[in-house]
Amino acid sequence: MRILFLGDVVGRSGRDAVVAGLPGLKSALKADLVVVNGENASHGFGLAPDMARAILAAGADVITLGNHAWDRKEIIPFLEQEPRVIRPANFPPGTPGRGAAVVEVPGNRRALVVNVMGRLFMDALDDPFRAVQAEIQKHRLGAGGTIQASLVDVHAEASSEKSAFGHSFDGLVSLVVGTHTHTPTADHQVLPGGTAYMTDAGMCGDYDSVIGMQKGGAALRFWRKMPGERLAPAEGPATLCGVWVETDDATGLATRIEPVRQGGRLSQALPVV
Residues 129-142 pLDDT 10s: 999 999 999 999 99
pLDDT band at 180 (very low <50, low <70, confident <90, very high): very high
pTM (predicted TM-score)? 0.96
61-91: pLDDT as tens digits: 999 999 999 999 999 999 999 999 999 999 9
155 is known as an active-site residue: no
> pLDDT band at 226, cuts 50/70/90?
confident
* Section 41-53 average pLDDT: 95
Q: Is the pLDDT of residue 265 over 80?
A: yes
**pLDDT tops 90 at residue 230:** no
Residue-range domains of the chain with CATH: 2-262 (3.60.21.10)
Residue 222 — very low, low, confident or very high, per pLDDT cuts 50/70/90? confident
User: Of residues 68, 180, 182, 188, which has the active-site annotation?
Assistant: 68
Average pLDDT over residues 139-166: 96
Asked if residue 4 lies in contact with residue 151, where contact means CB atoms within 8 angstroms, the answer is: no
